[in-house]
Every structure is written in structure tokens, then in C-alpha cells.
Structure 1
Amino acid sequence: MDMDLQEIIDRTVAAYAPLVKASSEAYWEGTTTGSAAAFERYAEINRKIAELFSDSRTFGELRRMRESGSVTEPLMRRQLEELYNAFLSRQADKSLLNAIIDKETELERKYAAFRADFRGSRINDNEVERLLRTSSDSAELRDVWEAHKAVGRAVARDVLDVVRLRNRLADMLGFTNYHSMSLMLSGEKPREVELLMNEVDELSRDSFAAVKAELDEAMVRRCGITREELRPWHYQGRFFQEAPDLYPVDFDKYYKDRDLERLTIDYYRSIGLDVEPMMRRSDLYPREGKNQHAFCIDMDGMGDVRVLCNLTDNERWMETMLHEFGHAAYSVGHDSNPDLPFLLREAAGIFTTEGVAMMFGRLSRNPEWMRLNLGISAEEAARIAPDCRRAARLSQLVQARFMQVVYRFEKAMYADPEQDLNALWRDLVEKYQLLTYPEGRDEPDWAAKIHIALYPCYYHNYQMGELFASQMHRYIVENITRSGDLASDSYTGCPEVGRWLSEKIFAPGKLYPWNEMISRATGEKLTAAYWAAEVR
């Protein structure tokens, strides 16, 4: 039976691997140039991938092997599970699968092309963020916030269409809805995720309320308004998903005129990870038509890993570089394992690669990292350290509350797409982020969040990633650097950290279920305990 499975694996990979590379190349061209032709090519290749995995005869063979329990060798069983889930998700009407691909491709194009119309000028997301973070003029803040939210109105109908199509797909495959299907096919149990998110809600609720009250007072003073006049645009970001500048540390000044590429290369090299080859293949600076977000892409499962950024010399983009090249190091780590089959050259779980990226992204505000990598003085590092720690805690709490909003919105949306989604989003924002929504506003602001449209049912993985980041950090500090310094250790100059990551987390890829991988690497399964200790 293993031989029969090996034949299916060989046949599928021979067809699939070239399509993965071609799809990635088309996506890369589309997101770096805005080319409509590239996006159409991307859609066409994805239709071919869907067709490959929609073969009912092969799926029947895989199902028979899976149900019989005849495949016993561990490596073969893991590949069987990966193939089974890949085929299962495509066992639907071909026209439905193609409709989903076409709609998603159109949405990719619309998000990539959108620029906010602010007082007669087209501005990109970097400029939106700059204005929201630096202006104290309430009228200007409202105008730029609403200009950005206009993308929601431009895409909402298409997003709702694709949500309905995804739910049709889930129904055809025997799942309650697309949200449940997505979690289950990625190796997660919906009830376990819900309990985890409930636990994080409880662990963060009171701490967030306290810092939010402190933040409100600061924004009132900053903008010269009353507490009752505070609205979402006063919190220095498009979604209040990142911490406002509450504490008197101007992080951006430390990165002004600094070479973020060189800082990233040198830091990773100091811990035994070489990211320079990936950086040479990357596209790091903004231009018209280019996707305004940041991502890492494994082009072929063979080590061609790239990062897209839109760099400016500030702390936000330093954090992004550390984050995205954490993803990149992970991808190259499993791609370069010669003993790992092609089908298992992925992260153990969606959130495990996020956890690695987040652990490194946190360093851009770590004063010890800044001393060792930026060259600030020990006195300066000591002076800003207390506020850095408070800022890091605020960041974790603000992010956690927005993650609650997106997770619960998507869960409810896929359960009932026909409900009043504008009101649902508003109610969740007010409940979990403690924001006062603009009176009478009835706009699809939820659709302005690109993840809801194009990376569905993903956002809870950011929270699970934060838990994993804290768990890895604790393990590294106690067992590898052995500094015992949970507050400041940045691992700089410790190549043993890179060796541990490479051997225990990157190289295994999907060889083990994610919780088994975490247990093998850190000695215990995923826990919220270490994250909770950091934010309380």
C-alpha cells in the first residue's frame, strides 16, 4: 500500500511543483508591478492547481488508504494527510472552484491598485499611517481615516460574493461553513481555537482596559478634545491594531537614515542565520502600482524565498524586516532539508512561522538589541528601557484585542453572511477595543482589512503565534543563551540560537503535527502561560 501511495505522491508532485513555481512567479510579478496580465496568469495557474487536486479518482484512492489504516510508516502517513486535505478541499464543482479563484484574483488587483483620496490627493498606505501617527488635528485625522476606509466600500460586494462562494464550497464538502473547514484542514480544531481565544480575551481584558484608559487621557491631551470626542481616528493607526505612541520614546529617530537591509543581514548573521541570499531576490522599496503591504513568499519549495516590503527608515519597517526575514529563514530551513519530502516543506502550522517572525519583530523596540545593533549607548539603553518595556506590553495588548475582533467577526460572518456585517464589525470594535464608533456610520469598514478578503480565517494564527513567540523566547533565555534576562535578551551574537531554530523548528517542516513539534523543541505543548506573564 505504501508503494501505491508513493506512486500517487510522485505523480502529484511532478505536476504540482512546476505549477507552484509558475503561480508564485505570476503573483510576484503582479504584486510588484500591479500588472493585470500577471494577475490573470496567476488566476489561470491556480485554476490548473485546483483541477489537479480535484481528481475524484485519486481522492478516492487516498480516502481508501486513510480509512483502512494501511499506511503505517510515519513519513508516508504525514504525506497521506497532506495530500488528503489538499484533494478534499477541491472535491467540488470545478466552476465553483474557478469562480472563487477569479474573485480572489480580482480582489488582489483592487487592493493593490487602491490609493486613498485624501483632500484631492492620492496617497499610499505609508502616507496614511504617517498622517494618523503624527497629526493632532481631529478634522485631518478623520478625513484621512475615512479616505483609507473607502477601500472597504470599493471591494465589499466582491468580498461578500467570495464569502458566499467559500461557504458553498464548505457545504459541498460536508463542513458547517468555510470557517470551520479552513481551521480543520489546516490541522486546527475549531473548538480548541475558540477556547484559546476565549482564554486570551480573559487574560488581556482587564490589563487592556487599564492601559486604554491611560491611552485615552494621552490622546485627549494630544488632540485638545474631550474624552467623549475620542473616535477611532485618534489612535494613530488605520485599525488600532498597533500601539500608539503613549510612552516618550521616539523609536523612529533611532532608525532615521539607517540601512535597514544591512541591519537585518548583520543581526541574523550574528545568530547563525544567513538571510542575505533571500534579500538579494527581494523587492523592498515602494513605487506606484506595487502592493503596499509586506509578505514573504516561498516561490518553489526549493529555497527561492523572497520578501516584499515598502521600506522607509522608521521603526515600523525595521520591525517588518525582522519579522519577514524570520519567515524567510524558516522557509529556507525546511526547503533545504534534503530528507524532507516536497509535500512537507512547509511550517508545522500556520502560526508557527508567525511565531518565529513575531519573536524577531519584537526586537526593534528592545533597548538591548538597539544597543548591540544600532550602537546606542548603554546609558541611553538604560534610560529608555522602562518605557520600552511598557511600550512592548501595550503593543501586545492592543494587538491581542484587534485579533479578537477579526477572529470573532470572521467566525460570525461565515456562520451568517447575510447579517448586518457593518453593525457586527462596529459592535466588536466597541466591545473588544473599547473604541467609540462614529455616530451613524454605516460603512463596510470590515472590508478595508485585506486579510478578511484574501487571507480568510487566518487572524487567530497571529495570536497563537504570539503565544509561541513567548514560549520560544522563554526557552532560549533559559536553555540556550542562559542569560535569565527575559526582559532584554536579544540573542545577538549567539549562533546557537540559529542552530536550535534550524534543527528543532525549521528543518522538520511538517514532519510532525504542530503541537508535537513544539513539544519536541521546547519541552511542552503550546501554552498561553508565558505570554500572559509578559502582559500582566
Structure 2
Amino acid sequence: MHRRIASLFVLLLPLVVSAASPIQERVDRFLKLTNAGYQALYRVNSEAQWLAVTDVTPEHDAAVAATGKAYAAFNGNPAIITEARDLLAHEKELTPLSVRQLKQLLLNAAEGPMTNPDLVSKRVEAETKQASILNSFEFKLNGQKITANEIDNKLEKSTDLEERRAIWEASKESGPALKPNLVVLRDLEVQAGREVSSAGPAKNSGALDQQSVGTGMARPG
């Protein structure tokens, strides 16, 4: 979820308007189209995730999986990957903002490259399962049920070391339940990254450094 919010920030940045070369105009048209599609699918997927968090049911989990697959199908579309790579081949002719946005598109594509639809489907299902396990997990503190939000609030406010230790230990109770699927998810993420990183421009997309964070480009590694 954090990854997607970070991606939304960069894709919402206004396109730079300039008396540009034909290649820059091509980039602007491409980004206008992809940004519109991204924002629409991001919203639908986020709404489904919120429902799944606040009301854990098989139906809401299924909605998350369905919208997640649609989201991945757009971001990982081979046509988008190919066009972004082709445009980045002219990086020196483009504005810095356009370059960052094109690289962000490739990072988004790496999360669900539709060059391998089966892999993407498995990853989305694994992510949905992992979130469902966590959302439905019952934490307990001193034998009493406690929510994840309550754990966060207590850790933030408590100054008693013994109490903080007990709260911290309670927060780790979900670990054993999450671990088996976490291993599966990690392997799927590695495979997904390899699908996109097989070509030069995709490798260069990792150039989003700390300087990018200062311009709304924050993105976890």
C-alpha cells in the first residue's frame, strides 16, 4: 500500500509544459494517458483495500484481488513498458521531471509485469492473502484483545518500559501466522522484478535516489 501511495505522488506531479522537441511532446502525451489510467485504478484498488481492512470478509478479499489484478494489468502492460523504455533512450532530450516519471512507470511495472500474467496473478493473490491474515489477526495484551491501532497508540504514549515491552511482544504475535506466505510472496516479488529488469532502461530506473525523495518521489527499496 505504501508503495502505491508513493507512486501516486510522482504520477500526480504536473507535466512540464515547454516548447519541446517532438520526442518531449510524445512523452507528454504518453504520460497524460498513463497518469489518468493509473489514478483511476489506484482509487478503485485503494477503496477495495480499505473495505477489506475495516471489514474482513471473503467478499472484500476477493474485491481486493480483482482490483489488484486490474491495477497490475495496467501498470505492467507490455506496451507501457516498451514505450517507457523507448522514450528513456532519449533521456538527454527530456525534462528531468519526465525522466523521473518514466522511470517510476517502470518501477510500477516491476510490481506486476504482464509479460508473465500467471506470475502477476499469483503475486496479487499472495498479497491479498497476507493482508487478510494480518487484518483478521487477533492480538492480545495481558489476555485481552487489542487492535493494531491500539498497539500503535500505546507504544506512542506509554513511558513505562515494562508496559512497552509487553506491548511490543504482543505486536509480534502475528509473525508466525504471516511467515509461511511471506516467503512465498518474497519469491514472487523477486521473480516479478526480474521480468522488467531484463533490459537496460529498466535497470536505470533504480536511479531514484534520495534527491528524488525531496521532490515527492519517495519510494521504498
Q: TM-score, normalised by structure 1?
A: 0.30
**Corresponding position of 1:93:** 116
CA distance in structure 2 between the aligned counterparts of 1:86 and 1:128, rounded to whole angstroms:
29
RMSD between superposed Cα atoms in Å: 3.7
User: Which structure 2 residues correspond to residues 306-455 of structure 1 after superposition, within 5 A?
Assistant: 348-350=216-218
Q: Would you say the 8 A contact 1:103–1:162 is kept in 2?
A: yes
CA distance in structure 2 between the aligned counterparts of 1:144 and 1:85, rounded to whole angstroms:
36
Q: Would you say the 8 A contact 2:56–2:136 is kept in 1?
A: yes
User: Which structure 2 residues correspond to residues 212-231 of structure 1 after superposition, within 5 A?
Assistant: none
1:5 shift after superposition: 2.5
What is the one-letter code of the residue matched to 2:216? A
1:60 shift after superposition: 1.9
1:22 shift after superposition: 0.9
Q: 1:30 to 1:347 in 2, by over 3 A?
A: farther
Larger Rg: 1
Q: Deviations over 1:404-436 (max 9, x none)?
A: xxxxxxxxxxxxxxxxxxxxxxxxxxxxxxxxx
**Corresponding position of 1:417:** none
What SS class does the counterpart of residue 172 from structure 2 fall into? helix
**Corresponding position of 2:39:** 17
What is the one-letter code of the residue matched to 2:103? E
1:153 shift after superposition: 0.8
Q: 1:56 to 1:95 in 2, by over 3 A?
A: same
What SS class does the counterpart of residue 145 from structure 2 fall into? strand
1:156 shift after superposition: 0.8
Q: 1:134 to 1:168 in 2, by over 3 A?
A: same
What is the one-letter code of the residue matched to 2:52? G
> Higher relative CO (CA 8 A, sep ≥ 6), structure 1 or 2?
2
Q: 1:142 to 1:78 in 2, by over 3 A?
A: closer
Q: Would you say the 8 A contact 2:69–2:121 is kept in 1?
A: yes
> Percent of counterpart pairs with the same letter?
20
**Corresponding position of 2:132:** 109
CA distance in structure 2 between the aligned counterparts of 1:31 and 1:165, rounded to whole angstroms:
23
Matched, 1:32 2:54: yes
What is the one-letter code of the residue matched to 1:348? G
Q: Would you say the 8 A contact 2:141–2:170 is kept in 1?
A: yes
Q: Deviations over 1:302-327 (max 9, x none)?
A: xxxxxxxxxxxxxxxxxxxxxxxxxx
What is the one-letter code of the residue matched to 1:29? L
1:187 shift after superposition: 0.8
Q: Deviations over 1:129-148 (max 9, x none)?
A: 75994778x7x988765544
What is the one-letter code of the residue matched to 2:218? I
**Number of aligned pairs?**
189
What SS class does the counterpart of residue 350 from structure 1 fall into? coil
Q: Would you say the 8 A contact 1:186–1:350 is kept in 2?
A: no
CA distance in structure 1 between the aligned counterparts of 2:151 and 2:95, rounded to whole angstroms:
54
Consecutive unaligned residues in structure 2, runs of 5 or more: 1-22
Matched, 1:187 2:208: yes
What SS class does the counterpart of residue 126 from structure 2 fall into? helix
What SS class does the counterpart of residue 99 from structure 1 fall into? helix
Matched, 1:46 2:46: no
What is the one-letter code of the residue matched to 1:350? A
**Corresponding position of 1:362:** none
Q: TM-score, normalised by structure 2?
A: 0.66
Q: Deviations over 1:149-193 (max 9, x none)?
A: 321111111111111111222233348xxxxx8xx647138xx9x
| Bigger proportion of residues as helix | 2
1:2 shift after superposition: 2.8
Q: Would you say the 8 A contact 1:107–1:155 is kept in 2?
A: yes
What is the one-letter code of the residue matched to 2:192? L
1:167 to 175, 181, 190: 190
What SS class does the counterpart of residue 173 from structure 2 fall into? helix
Q: Would you say the 8 A contact 2:138–2:147 is kept in 1?
A: yes
**Corresponding position of 2:10:** none
CA distance in structure 1 between the aligned counterparts of 2:159 and 2:56, rounded to whole angstroms:
29
1:57 to 79, 89, 92: 79
CA distance in structure 2 between the aligned counterparts of 1:149 and 1:82, rounded to whole angstroms:
33
Consecutive unaligned residues in structure 1, runs of 5 or more: 176-180, 193-345, 352-455, 458-536
Q: 1:152 to 1:78 in 2, by over 3 A?
A: closer
1:120 shift after superposition: 4.5
Q: Deviations over 1:187-224 (max 9, x none)?
A: 138xx9xxxxxxxxxxxxxxxxxxxxxxxxxxxxxxxx
Matched, 1:150 2:173: yes
What SS class does the counterpart of residue 28 from structure 1 fall into? helix
Q: 1:174 to 1:85 in 2, by over 3 A?
A: closer
What SS class does the counterpart of residue 174 from structure 2 fall into? helix
User: Which structure 2 residues correspond to residues 270-309 of structure 1 after superposition, within 5 A?
Assistant: none
Q: Deviations over 1:464-501 (max 9, x none)?
A: xxxxxxxxxxxxxxxxxxxxxxxxxxxxxxxxxxxxxx
Q: Deviations over 1:111-141 (max 9, x none)?
A: 12222245653233426975994778x7x98
CA distance in structure 1 between the aligned counterparts of 2:159 and 2:102, rounded to whole angstroms:
53
**Corresponding position of 1:303:** none
CA distance in structure 2 between the aligned counterparts of 1:63 and 1:141, rounded to whole angstroms:
49
